[in-house]
Amino acid sequence: MEFYKGIGKIKYEGKDSKNPLSFKFYNPDEVIAGKTMREHLKFAMSYWHTMCAEGTDMFGVGTIVKDYGETDPMESAKKKAYAAFELMDKLSIDYYCFHDRDIAPEGETLAESNARLDVISDLLLELQNKYNKKVLWGTANCFGNKRYMHGAGTSPNADVFAFAAAQIKKAVEITVKLGGKGYVFWGGREGYETLLNTNMALEQDNMARLMRLTVDYARSIGFDGDFFIEPKPKEPTKHQYDFDTATVLAFLRKYGLDKDFKMNIEANHATLAAHTFQHELRVARDNNVFGSIDANQGDMNLGWDTDQFPTNVYETALCMYEVIKAGGFVNGGLNFDAKTRRGSNTSEDIFLSYIAGMDAFALGLRIADKMINDGRIDGFVAERYASFNSGIGKKIVDGDVTMAELEAYALEMGDVTTNISGKQEYLENVMNQLMF
């Protein structure tokens, strides 16, 4: 059965093509800086948005039906799996990401939910082999069900903690079964609405306990991939504990979890935290915890997570610059945690959206490679800090100087006489020259 009728395999046709169902910039097998674009970008489909989300919002029902012609939820889940692989095949997307409840609907009991996951994961494994596709990462949806109204790992209710642990245990098992090399913790409702009813210290200690239990269990069943933590400052809770990369790093280090976790940086989460996407990537790279990316973009006029498909090439270029500088993806990749607008409600729109996102990142990769080969930006930064390569600067860096020696040096100088320009506008113009 074909789900996306009338849409064939999307091909690279180059930048002058007017065919909407073609790639203009993403040429999977083209080699850039020693690797194919496919290897650099490691695109992944998000199961929840693409296969499940029907365009509902706070004010209205869905605008696109995704039951795939079935009324029984398990039959619909099976069709969803077939449709997912047809879509990935047609778009040349090699990976997918899922929450447990995206692939198999929750049952009346945990045992029933687990049995459903067993059935669907058998089918997914069969389809992965048939189409040569892989899981990028798996995760557990510990936020949708009403039992998680006060959080999961940070719930004040120990029964909820236990239930979440059981759900995560199974999600890890399914991820391992499907060969996933990543497991994500996004703090669904791990945060608070008001401190008047919250024991923040206990909640954070408990979250760390849940993460430690998960890591130890996953390693015991042979998971050798990365755990990713996905920062977000707010939404759904007023204050999410995993506010941004710097906050998460402090948390991981406090609880001794920093060896097992890397970051999954989402563009729209960065901007919600009043950071740029590049800032979050840079903090991760500088601290050796860059792992994976949830590729999307927000709307700067709105204060929430709009999860739009990324089309801003300035952002994708600076993102891919950070990715290349970080040494590229290892177990991570570019997961399109993005959805079509509610008004873009056809299957064709889903394809057009992925094409837009993939082309934007392909352009980003091409430009990042140009930035690095051009060398002006890197050269400028190196030169800007050259005072630390010799003399007093080198002594500071080497830890080879005392406060008294620095004072003697400053007294001798009398005052600082030179400070070179930061040339921001010049560098922004270099970016434009490289981009256009």
> Which residues contact ligand XUL (rule: CB under 6 A)?
99, 139, 184, 186, 230, 232, 266, 294, 305, 337
CA angle 102–105–106, rounded 5-degree value: 115
Of 95-103, 109-117, 202-210, 261-269, the window that binds Co ion (rule: CB under 5 A) is 261-269
> 232 is in the binding site of which of Co ion, ligand XUL, none (Cβ under 5 to 8 A by kind)?
ligand XUL
Please pick, from the candidates 94, 305, 315, 337, the single residue that binds Co ion as defined by CB under 5 A.
337
Do 211 and 241 meet the contact criterion of CB atoms below 8 Å apart? no
Nearest-approach distance from CB 221 to ligand XUL, in angstroms: 21
Is the alpha carbon torsion for 211, 43, 56, 65 positive or negative? negative
Alpha helices, H only, 137-199: 158-177
Nearest-approach distance from CB 297 to Co ion, in angstroms: 12
Nearest-approach distance from CB 351 to ligand XUL, in angstroms: 21
Grouping H, G, I as helix, E, B as strand and the rest as coil, residue 232 is coil
> 184 is in the binding site of which of ligand XUL, Co ion, none (Cβ under 5 to 8 A by kind)?
ligand XUL
Of 66-74, 310-318, 337-345, 422-430, the window that binds Co ion (rule: CB under 5 A) is 337-345
Please pick, from the candidates 100, 266, 315, 322, the single residue that binds Co ion as defined by CB under 5 A.
266
Binding of residue 280 to Co ion (CB under 5 A) = no
Q: Output 12 or 227, the one with its CB closest to ligand XUL.
A: 227
Closest CA to 183 of 50, 292, 334, 285: 292
Binding of residue 294 to Co ion (CB under 5 A) = yes
Nearest-approach distance from CB 244 to ligand XUL, in angstroms: 14
User: What is the full DSSP assignment across 95-106?
Assistant: EEEEEHHHHS--
Q: Output 47 or 251, the one with its CB closest to ligand XUL.
A: 47
- Cα separation, 252 vs 413, in Å, equals 43
CA atoms within 13 A on the CB side of 325: 20
Give the total residue count for the chain. Answer: 436
Q: Is 312 exposed, middle or buried, given 0-12, 13-18 or 19+ CB atoms closer than 10 A?
A: middle
Phi, psi of 196 (to 5 degrees): -60, -25
Q: Output 155 or 240, the one with its CB closest to ligand XUL.
A: 240
Grouping H, G, I as helix, E, B as strand and the rest as coil, residue 222 is coil
> 242 is in the binding site of which of Co ion, ligand XUL, none (Cβ under 5 to 8 A by kind)?
none
Of 78-86, 316-324, 335-343, 395-403, the window that binds Co ion (rule: CB under 5 A) is 335-343
Do 357 and 310 meet the contact criterion of CB atoms below 8 Å apart? yes
- The single residue listed with the structure tokens 């079509």 is 340
Nearest-approach distance from CB 303 to ligand XUL, in angstroms: 14
Q: Which residue is nearest to ligand XUL (CB)?
A: 186
**Residue 244 catalytic?**
no
Per annotation, catalytic residue among 49, 99, 269, 279: 99
Nearest-approach distance from CB 378 to ligand XUL, in angstroms: 32
> 139 is in the binding site of which of ligand XUL, Co ion, none (Cβ under 5 to 8 A by kind)?
ligand XUL
Grouping H, G, I as helix, E, B as strand and the rest as coil, residue 300 is coil
Q: Output 28 or 151, the one with its CB closest to ligand XUL.
A: 151
Do 228 and 264 meet the contact criterion of CB atoms below 8 Å apart? yes
Q: Is 270 exposed, middle or buried, given 0-12, 13-18 or 19+ CB atoms closer than 10 A?
A: buried
Per annotation, catalytic residue among 100, 102, 242, 369: 102
Q: Output 23 or 98, the one with its CB closest to ligand XUL.
A: 98
> 272 is in the binding site of which of Co ion, ligand XUL, none (Cβ under 5 to 8 A by kind)?
none
Do 351 and 10 meet the contact criterion of CB atoms below 8 Å apart? yes
Sequence-separated (6 or more) residues with CB below 8 Å from residue 431: 314, 317, 371, 377
Q: Output 37 or 211, the one with its CB closest to ligand XUL.
A: 211
**Residue 102 catalytic?**
yes
Task: Enumerate the β-bridge partners of residue 293.
Answer: 265, 334
> 95 is in the binding site of which of Co ion, ligand XUL, none (Cβ under 5 to 8 A by kind)?
none
User: What is the full DSSP assignment across 264-283?
Assistant: EEEHHHHHHTT--HHHHHHH
Nearest-approach distance from CB 306 to ligand XUL, in angstroms: 10
Q: Output 139 or 154, the one with its CB closest to ligand XUL.
A: 139
> 226 is in the binding site of which of Co ion, ligand XUL, none (Cβ under 5 to 8 A by kind)?
none
Do 150 and 188 meet the contact criterion of CB atoms below 8 Å apart? no
> 94 is in the binding site of which of Co ion, ligand XUL, none (Cβ under 5 to 8 A by kind)?
none
Q: Output 232 or 262, the one with its CB closest to ligand XUL.
A: 232
- Cα separation, 334 vs 362, in Å, equals 11
Active site residues: 99, 102
Instruction: Point out which residues bind Co ion (CB under 5 A).
Output: 266, 294, 337
